[in-house]
Structure formats: C-alpha cells, structure tokens
Structure 1
C-alpha cells in the first residue's frame, strides 16, 4: 500500500473516530439535558404542590377565622339552620342557598308567596342553610358577607324580611356588591327596626363569618349538586321538573291533614 493510501486510510479512521467522539459527546449532553429537565419538572411540580398546600383551605376574601358564633335561635346539627315557621308544622322545607346565586333568586321569586302563606298558617317550617358557593366560583366575599348580615338580622328577629330584601336587591352574579358592608347596611333600612347600632356592629365585625364558613363546609360535605338545593321532608324537590308552587302547596296541605 502506498504511503499516500495509508495516509488516506488514517485520515478516514481519524475522521470516523472524531465523529464517534462527537456522537458520544452529543449523547452525554442529551442525557444530561434529560436529567436536568427531569429535575426541573420535579422541582416545578414540588413548587406547585407546595403552593397548593400552602393555600389549601384559604379564602383570600376571608378574614382571620374567629370563634363560631351561631345566630340567635339557630337549630339543627351544629346550630346551622335558621328556622322560619312553627316547630310543630308537619312539613319541613330545607333550603340550601347563596345570596349571590341567580337560581336561588329565581326560586325565591317563584315560591316566596306560597312559602310565606304556608309558614304563616303554621303548616310549613323552613330551615335555611347558607352557603358561599359563588364566592368560591367567582371570587369575592359577597356570599359570605350577605350570609353574615342575614345571620345578624336573625339576631334581631328580622331574618325573613331581610332575607327577602337581599334577593329583591341581588346584584348580577359577577358583581360582588354584597361584599360591601355599607351596601348590606343600606338594605337594612328597608326592614322596619333592623338598622340599629347592634346590627351595624354585627355586620361590620363579621360576627358570624366563622359560622357561615362552617355552614358552607356542611354544604360541601353534603355533596349537593348546587344552590338552591330544596328538600321537602328530606326529599329533593328542586330537581323535580314537575314541581310548582301549587304542587308544593298541595303536598303541604295533604301532609297537614294526614
């Protein structure tokens, strides 16, 4: 073999060796990047988990939790129900509601006259449970603050009237107007005798905020589909497409006779 050919073969071998070294180096870089990327992903996931854990159970709109103060006359398990009507009524309507909830307002508008008629006649007892579903879904604190104000109205013996005023003046779902205590106090003027220093202090101090949070937790634990949830003697009637105020009245009348 000529010297020229030997030199050419060495050159080819050297080029092949160089290429192999480059491939090995590239493979090492690739593996390093994979490992580094994996570490970044794990660290990123850990960071996300850490943030979620740190914020779990927090509500940015909530003040520091205080003692659970149930409103006057609250009944039921953990005193989470605000009763309206006579205790001896043969029918009980359990209503889970949110003062920011448009569907709750629609239910109230349709059924309020019938419910008032039946509770006034002593034939129906209503247990109101307050939730803050819209605060959780839309953000804000209007559901909580309105529920606290309603509980303050219960302390004053004015819950039914103030309850109705809140729904009659409900803002749009995306408008967190009920977050403003001044708005809630202003609406109290529509209820005779409610706008007092005691009521104002109760609203401004968020006296029942922790009770509202506990009520909302009970709503979550109940795995209800949403608000309103309306139970007649324990049976969900809001999901009944055939239900009407007239049908509800008939059910109550029949139970009262029976």
Structure 2
C-alpha cells in the first residue's frame, strides 16, 4: 500500500531502526530554539508537503524566479576579493581567495570562510534568514525546490539577508548518506566565487540521491556537474578529489549542532528557529520573514 499524501518521510525507520536525523521538532511560533537533542527514541517529524518537480534547474548561471516572474543571471564578477583562512583544520588548504559574485538586480553573493554564503543587496543587514542544509537530506532538496526562488527574490529586492549554511548532519554510522553529504559539502567549498557557488549548489540539489540509502555525489560526478559552470581549473579539480575541506566541514557542522541545530532543513530568522508551520509554503515563509523585518 502506498503512503498517504503528506505522510511523514520516511514511512519506516531506516537501517538499524534509526531515523535519519533531519527534520527538527516543531517549535511554537514565537518560541525559543530547540534545546539539546532528544534521546535515541525521538522520531523527527518530517512531513513537508510534496514538492513540485524541479523545473527551474536549467544549468549554467541562470536561476528562474518562478513566483516573481524574474530571471536572475548570475554574473561572474570579481567585485571584491577577500583573502581569508580556509579553516583551522590541518590540511584544509590554507588561505583562499573568495570572490563576491554579482547577481542581476543588484544583490551580491558573498562566500564566507566557514563554507557558508551570504546573499543580499549591499547595505541590507536584516532580517537575517539562516538556512541550514545537508545535501544528502531529501527534505532539504524538497525545501530548496519549494523556497529557493522566493529567497533569491527577497535578497534581490533588498528585503532580507539570506545565509546558506551547508552542513553534515549524518553521523559516520549512517552510510552512505554521511559520505555523500561530506563529499558534496566539501566540493562546494572548493568554489570560491559567489555566483558560481549558487549555481553549483543548484547543480548539487538537481542531482541529489533519491534517499539516504543511495550512493551519490561520487567524485567523478561532482566534477562533471561543475564542468557546464566553467569550474574546471586544476585547483578546483584537485580540491574536489582530495576533499581538501572535509575536516573543516565536520568542524563547522559540529559547531552548528552545538548551537542548537538538531536537523536539516532548519531555518532561523534573526536567530529564532522557525516552526514547521512557517516553512510549509513559500507564502508562509515569506510572512515569517517579513514579520521579523
């Protein structure tokens, strides 16, 4: 018998009776962020409404904003070059040059040293919308297909500062999801230009493994997804093959968990973790963001 519409995902416990660790427990609107992770018997309340087919993935550097009827062309432009430390983990690659990318409409995509990326118009500092995501988490893919166009539109309109936080939520015992996630997040950190970063994130979600039991994001695939974007340099290829930033991905992810992130996707607006009801639809998420402005 098939699962009823909107049934929590997945319908049965995973390997060894463990549920995948994404989908934080609901938080009452206006309530505090969740506390320490619950005990081993906790079953995360997945159940995001079914996402529409990913029709906006066109490859290259074009992102269609369906809701607003806009098409944003990400322009690879060296507006600002930041020399930053790539991380404190041994073997993380030392200093990186991170390039701010221009988005048509006046917004900028700024990669940060911890692997996250800020998307906003210059001078816009609030409200801050933090998105915590794991590329091996199917609900994260559904969230991206549902909300990404609206979030980009808010950033272009100067109505929010959106920060993407790729992370590793799966433990090492949860295979192959753990390794899938780690390879993808480490590869994204090899992209130092903000415009390319957003396009490569789109490509990762477009090729997301169908579930946490499927192997995906193999090194050869991660490189092939990057080729249409022009990410073919020797340094990028070497970075992806060696998983240069894997140790830092783990360290940064543990910091997010210690800050109260219990699962992915998680959304915080001005530091407050949103309830699941606030992310059920783009309109609901937009209202929650605008209420915090």
TM-score (norm: length of structure 2): 0.57
**Inter-partner Cα distance in structure 2 for 1:156 and 1:114:** 19
Q: In the superposition, relative to structure 1, how do residues 70 and 240 fare at CA in structure 2: closer, same or farther (>3 Å)?
A: farther
Q: Which runs of 4+ in 1 moved over 4 A?
A: 68-71, 251-256
**Inter-partner Cα distance in structure 2 for 1:81 and 1:153:** 11
Structure 1 segments unaligned to the other structure (5+ residues): 1-63
The alignment status of 1:189 with 2:227, answered yes or no, reads yes
The alignment status of 1:107 with 2:146, answered yes or no, reads no
Q: In the superposition, relative to structure 1, how do residues 232 and 223 fare at CA in structure 2: closer, same or farther (>3 Å)?
A: closer
Larger radius of gyration: 1
Provide the residue aligned with 1:239 in structure 2: 276
TM-score (norm: length of structure 1): 0.64
Q: In the superposition, relative to structure 1, how do residues 163 and 80 fare at CA in structure 2: closer, same or farther (>3 Å)?
A: closer
Post-superposition Cα deviations, 1:158-214, rounded to whole Å, max 9, x if no partner, equal 111111111111012211211x211101111243x2233232122112221122111
Provide the residue aligned with 1:220 in structure 2: 257
CA RMSD of aligned residues (A): 2.7
Asked if 2 retains the 8 angstrom alpha-carbon contact of 1:70 and 1:211, the reply is no
Structure 2 segments unaligned to the other structure (5+ residues): 1-88, 99-109
Which structure: greater strand fraction?
2
Asked if 2 retains the 8 angstrom alpha-carbon contact of 1:69 and 1:207, the reply is no
**Inter-partner Cα distance in structure 2 for 1:122 and 1:148:** 30
Provide the residue aligned with 1:136 in structure 2: 172
Provide the residue aligned with 2:158 in structure 1: 122
Asked if 1 retains the 8 angstrom alpha-carbon contact of 2:279 and 2:285, the reply is no
The alignment status of 1:66 with 2:91, answered yes or no, reads yes
Asked if 1 retains the 8 angstrom alpha-carbon contact of 2:129 and 2:162, the reply is yes
**Inter-partner Cα distance in structure 2 for 1:66 and 1:171:** 28
Post-superposition Cα deviations, 1:97-123, rounded to whole Å, max 9, x if no partner, equal 110000101111110110121122232
Counterpart of 1:149 (choices 187, 191, 196) is: 187
**Per-residue deviation, 1:142:** 1.2
